[in-house]
Amino acid sequence: AQSVTQLGSHVSVSEGALVLLRCNYSSSVPPYLFWYVQYPNQGLQLLLKYTSAATLVKGINGFEAEFKKSETSFHLTKPSAHMSDAAEYFCAVSKNSGNTPLVFGKGTRLSVIA
Amino acid sequence: GAVVSQHPSWVICKSGTSVKIECRSLDFQATTMFWYRQFPKQSLMLMATSNEGSKATYEQGVEKDKFLINHASLTLSTLTVTSAHPEDSSFYICSAPRPMTSGGADEQFFGPGTRLTVL
């Protein structure tokens, strides 16, 4: 079985500060890992995904994440937060890159303070 | 990029009525689609896998007679909430894997979601 744990249901950062959203996974098979962003009353937008290639994955909007097998982690970072980054972020795991349903973490709400 | 649409985007209905939600893949064919439910301030939970031309596969605890899924074509899956009750009020999101010519799928694309409120 696969599962995802997101540490911190709410993270608050100042504009321009580093963003760090934590995600740990559990998987009995090599995982495919994803980060999605959700704005209020909208669907999910893919930020980035890990599919067993490079361990450091760069995504859209300046976000990146590093896959660390030894730590079973896939934390999301952004060097400098922008007001428009305020949203809900979901980490997800799957058995492959697209054909199987995703197992989502509970989400982390990011607030950016001016 | 690939697009998945949902209709309606929001619906309000009376308790006891049925509501149909459509999920369409606009620029690719999807033999499989997934339906998720998201309660307020919670994560997405998989409800069922919709398979074109065959019966849907439901997750444990999801009533198949209450949440009817029909995947009638390669671009359309529908979720019908029958005899809706206030506890069915939720955000329903579908996703569709985009197939690759080499087989498999490279990515899932999510619809914008449907907000259902049952009074």
Q: Report mean pLDDT in 10-residue bins for chain A, 114 residues.
A: 92 97 91 91 87 88 95 97 96 84 94 96
CA geometry: angle B111, A22, A50, nearest 5 deg: 55
β-partners of residue B97 are B108
Distance of alpha carbon B79 from alpha carbon B18, whole angstroms: 10
Residue whose pair of structure tokens reads 């939600």 in the numeric block:
B21
Predicted pLDDT of residue A106:
93
B67: left (phi over 0), alpha (psi -120 to 50) or beta: beta
Q: How many CB atoms lie within 10 A of CB A83?
A: 10
Distance of alpha carbon A74 from alpha carbon A27, whole angstroms: 13
CB contact under 8 A, A44 and B34: no
CA geometry: angle B56, B117, B109, nearest 5 deg: 45
User: Encoding tokens for residue B54?
Assistant: 């065959």
Distance of alpha carbon A63 from alpha carbon A84, whole angstroms: 13
- What is the average pLDDT across B39-67? 92
Distance of alpha carbon B10 from alpha carbon B14, whole angstroms: 14
Residues of B (5-24) whose Cβ lies below 8 Å from A: 6
Chain A residues closer than 8 Å to B43 by CB: 90, 104-107
Residue B39's pLDDT band, with cuts at 50, 70 and 90, is confident
Q: How many CB atoms lie within 10 A of CB A82?
A: 13
Option in A49, A99, A102 nearest B104 (CB): A99
CB contact under 8 A, B43 and A102: no
Q: CA end-to-end span of chain B, whole Å?
A: 37
Instruction: Give whole-number Cα distances, A58 to A65, A78, B55, B101, in Å.
Output: 7, 10, 38, 25
Closest chain A residue to B6, measured at CA? A43
Rounded to the nearest angstrom, the minimum Cα separation between A62 and chain B is: 19
Mean per-residue pLDDT of chain B? 91
Pairing of strands A108-113, A10-14: parallel
Mutate to test the interface with B, among A60, A102, A108 (most CBs of B within 10 A): A102
CB contact under 8 A, B44 and A46: no
Is B4 in contact with B110 (CB distance < 8 Å)?
Answer: yes
Predicted pLDDT of residue A111:
97
Alpha helices, DSSP H, located in B38-80? none
- What is the average pLDDT across B1-7? 85
Instruction: Give whole-number Cα distances, B61 to A56, B45, B47, B97, in Å.
Output: 37, 11, 9, 24
Mean per-residue pLDDT of chain A? 92
Is B31 at the interface with chain A, CB within 8 A?
A: no
Option in A46, A90, A99 nearest B105 (CB): A99
Is B51 at the interface with chain A, CB within 8 A?
A: no
